[in-house]
Amino acid sequence: MTLLDQQAPAPARARHTTIALTALAMGGFAIGTTEFVSMGLLPQLARGVEVSIPAAGHAISAYALGVVVGAPTIAFLAARLPRRVLLVGLMTAFALGNAASALATSYDALLLARFAAGLPHGAYFGVASLVAAGLVTADRKGRAVASVMLGLSVANVVGVPAATWLGQNLGWRSAYWLVTLLALLTIALVLAFVPSTAGDREATWRRELVALRRPQVLLTLVAGAVGFGGMFAVYTYIVPTITEVGGLPESVAPVFLLAFGLGMVAGTWLAGRMADWSVMRSMFIGGAGQGVLLLVFSLLAPTGWGTLPVVFGITVMGSVLVVALQLRLMAVAQEAQTMGAAMNHAALNVANALGAWLGGAVIAAGWGYRAPAVVGAGLAVVGLLVLAWSAALRHRHG
């Protein structure tokens, strides 16, 4: 029996487990859609609130900041609440944040609304992962958690393109209204199909905070924040890379973005099965595979289309790493599972910011558009070293 099994409340079996997991994944779909749709609507956002495109980009940063702030804060305050009640509350707050985004009439109001929309993000995935793990037997926990994360992956293939098209043709506000409707649908599905499960009645603010002081929790968070940054270093600058280095027209950019999305779907599906085999080995395979493929991307960048399967592979390996990190945090946080599970997405948003910033820095230094992939490979190596440290401590202390 693992620590996760020992500390989790007794599982409440859903009448239809698959439908319950689908309901939880719908929340991930809504969150994934709003997280990435702003990137495709920056010109429209800029015109809508009368600012420059770079200034409109701060709306993306505001959302990421909301995730980083909200994950530990909500886990700290709400760990004792019944988990279905907490899921509904988080989705309600998420719906209100996106509705406020759609109604924003000024730049400051938009930034505040995007920050508010990001607050429930990490806590939702954390609590939904705990609920999903409690719906299945121990040998299927990895697949159950992966099914929740699959909603985020599918959003990049279906939700983001659909919301972007809607925002471009009916105005940027319509994209956020669509996400609001998806959030309300999630609430209805959770109430209808997800069984009621108790929160952690013994949770205290002191115990939740103690989790953040545990070496294994900190090492896992650092591994995610650094090791996953490489994918974002490439993702952020994929369009100028394939056009300026690969010689392809801008019109093919959606094909490469689709490859990112499909890689996330395939990787998340694979991650569930790998994690049920071994969480620790999955983290090493995902991190190492991502690092190698980032170097290959840099080498093949001048070939244009030759990088397309590499892009797919990078996101497959990255998704394997993400799901394994989620499960690892749920275990090493011990009794503070809500805090541990929620903090994974805070770390991943730090990875997003770190990868994009370092990638931009090497481009600005004149090293070219192939350099972010090399930087990303370096981040993957650092992440692997942190994981090796974590594994050594685990071996030493049994």
pLDDT tens profile 331-370: 887 777 777 777 888 888 888 878 878 888 888 888 988 9
**pLDDT, position 93:** 97
Tell me the per-residue pLDDT of 368-384, one tens digit each, with 9 for 90 and over.
Answer: 889 999 999 999 999 99
Mean pLDDT value of segment 95-121: 95
CA angle 126, 132, 136 (to 5 degrees): 145
Task: Provide the percentage of residues in the chain whose pLDDT is more than 70.
Answer: 92
- What is the tens place of the pLDDT at every residue in 303-328? 999 999 999 999 999 999 988 988 89
At residue 239, the pLDDT reads 78
- Long-range contacts of residues 386-390, Cβ cutoff 8 Å, at least 24 apart: 386/219, 386/222, 386/223, 386/226, 386/227, 387/219, 387/223, 387/227, 387/280, 387/283, 387/284, 387/287, 389/219, 390/215, 390/216, 390/219, 390/220, 390/223
Please choose, from the candidates 34, 153, 57, the residue with its C-alpha nearest in 3D space to the C-alpha of residue 107: 57
* Highest-pLDDT range among 76-85, 321-330, 383-392: 383-392
Q: d(Cα 103, Cα 100) in Å, to the nearest integer?
A: 5
The CATH-assigned architecture of domain 13-203 is Up-down Bundle (1.20)
| Residue 340: predicted pLDDT | 74
Q: Is pLDDT above 50 for 3?
A: no
Q: Which pTM value belongs to this model? A: 0.78
**pLDDT for residue 62:** 87
**What does the pLDDT average to over 210-214?**
74
Start and end residues for every CATH 1.20.1250.20 domain found in the chain: 13-203, 207-398
Question: What average pLDDT does the structure give for the chain?
Answer: 86
CA atoms of 179 and 34, how far apart (whole Å) = 6
Residue 65, pLDDT > 50, answer: yes
Residues 31 and 114: their CA atoms lie apart, in Å, by: 12
How far, rounded to the nearest angstrom, does the alpha carbon of residue 388 sit from its chain's CA centroid? 23
Confidence of residue 207 (pLDDT cuts 50, 70, 90): low
Classify domain 207-398 by CATH number. 1.20.1250.20
Residue range 162-168: mean pLDDT, rounded: 86
Q: Tell me which residue of 278, 322, 6, 319 sits closest to 133, measured CA to CA.
A: 6
Given a cut of 50, whether residue 11 has pLDDT beyond it is: no
